[in-house]
Amino acid sequence: MNYLTRRLVTFPLVMLGVSVLVFISIRLVPGDAITAMLGTEAGLLTPEQRAALEAYFGIDQSWPVQYGRWLLGALKGDLGISVTFGKPVLDVILERFPLTLELALLSMAIALLIGLPAGVFAATRNEKPSDLGVRIFAMIGQSTPNFVVGLLLIYILSVGFGVLPVMGAFTPLFQDPLENLGQLILPALTLGFAFAASVTRIARSAMLDVLSEDYVRTARSKGAPAMSVLWRHALPNALIPVVTLSGVEFGYLLGGAVIVEQIFALPGLGRMVLDAILQRDYALVQGSVLFIALNFMIVNLLVDLAYAMLDPRIRLGDR
């Protein structure tokens, strides 16, 4: 059994464990769907009315029965019906996921386009004023919360330039690319700013380690051009920590950037999960977390496969 097959075999086991944890966790939160929907008026219900509503929401049975019923449906591709949206859970997730995916890709692109060159630049000028400037930038970026960056962007555009950013809507990319970019560029910059700082620090540290290796000194002693040594010999090996960081961050972004989506009123996956938790929409929470876990495992698998492509010394093995 090769490495890829072994990893794929573990997917169902991890998904099963995640489903059990999220099933128990959401039900340990005080309150239920009836209280979340009716608020204080839930206390005015008669026992018969509450029993009818519990049967309607599927919470009248014991936890093992509820989980078994949900699991059987999930194995058939049915994640249940969202009581908040009145639609199948899978349909609601697939409606919100394109925005989250595009926002994650834009944020990742911004972070890598800024952070990777900045990290390489700082490493080649170690302990010089330009290196210090890059490190200060990275420190500021990592220590500034996303919501502060987002609010500053909104404030500068609205007060400084009299232009309010587009919020609360999402136009698909293939429907109107310019409008789509206008809606997502500020949230992507907000998320990409802090991530670019992390990439800068990791890339700088990795490049410093690689530039001190024997094969880099050998390439230089043979008269290889400095840019060739830097980009062809040193950078591929220095990318491994960057790829690791990017995979973890991208997995988190695919789960939805809750704070940024709230600030810019974006109908993304993270905001949907938060609303589902507040509304005690058990089916939607369980289905969403399961979907996010699957995305995270796929990203981690792709990162592991990328290691072998970047560094020939890494072998994933066939046993």
Structure confidence by residue, pLDDT tens digits, 118-139: 988 888 888 888 888 989 988 8
Residue 264 has pLDDT above 90, yes or no: no
Mean pLDDT over residues 259-276, rounded?
86
Q: pLDDT, tens digit, for every residue of 70-106?
A: 899 888 888 888 888 888 999 999 998 989 999 999 9
The total of other beta-carbon atoms located within 10 Å of residue 200's CB is 28
**120-129, 156-165, 232-241, 260-269: least confident range:** 156-165
In sequence order, what DSSP letters do the residues of 264-291 get, joined into one string?
A: TT---HHHHHHHHHHTT-HHHHHHHHHH
Closest to 83 (Cα-Cα) out of 37, 135, 127, 29: 37
Question: Could you report how far apart the first and last alpha carbons of the chain are, in Å?
Answer: 6
Please determine, for residue 316, whether its predicted confidence score (pLDDT) is greater than 70: no
Query: Would you state the pLDDT for residue 225?
Result: 78
62: confidence class by pLDDT, cuts 50, 70, 90: confident
pLDDT value at 163 more than 60? yes
DSSP classification of residue 165: P
Q: How confident is the model at residue 110 (pLDDT cuts 50, 70, 90)?
A: very high
Percent over 70 (pLDDT), the chain: 92
The per-residue pLDDT for range 207-257, each reduced to its tens digit, is: 888 888 777 778 777 777 777 777 777 888 888 888 888 888 888 888 767
Q: If you average pLDDT over residues 249-270, what whole number do you get?
A: 84
Number of Cβ within 10 Å of residue 205's Cβ equals 15
Q: What are the pLDDT digits (tens) for 40-50?
A: 666 667 777 77
Written as six digits, the tokens of 53 are 């509503």
For the record, the structure tokens of 296 come out as 């995270």
Q: Is the pLDDT of residue 318 over 70?
A: no
> 214 and 127 in contact (C-beta within 8 Å)?
no
Yes or no: say if 50 and 34 are a contact pair by the CB < 8 Å rule. Answer: yes
Does 127 or 117 have the greater pLDDT score?
A: 117
Predicted pLDDT at 113 = 92
Pairwise CA distance, residues 188 & 153, whole Å: 11
Q: How far apart are CA 13 and CA 11, in angstroms?
A: 5
pLDDT of residue 106: 92
Confidence at 313, pLDDT banded by 50, 70, 90: low
Is a pLDDT exceeding 70 seen at residue 193? yes
User: pLDDT tens digits for 4-28?
Assistant: 788 888 888 999 999 999 989 888 8
High-pLDDT (> 90) share of the chain, %: 11
- 304 with 316: CB under 8 angstroms? yes
For the chain, the average pLDDT equals: 83
pLDDT band at 315 (very low <50, low <70, confident <90, very high): low
Angstrom distance (rounded) from CA 104 to CA 249:
9
What's the whole-number mean pLDDT along residues 52-80?
84
Q: Is 272's pLDDT higher than 70?
A: yes
CB 206 within 8 A of CB 242: yes
Going by C-alpha positions, the residue among 318, 300, 126 that lies closest to residue 208 is 126
pLDDT reading at 109 higher than 90: yes
- Residue 222 has a CB neighbour count (10 Å cut-off) of 8
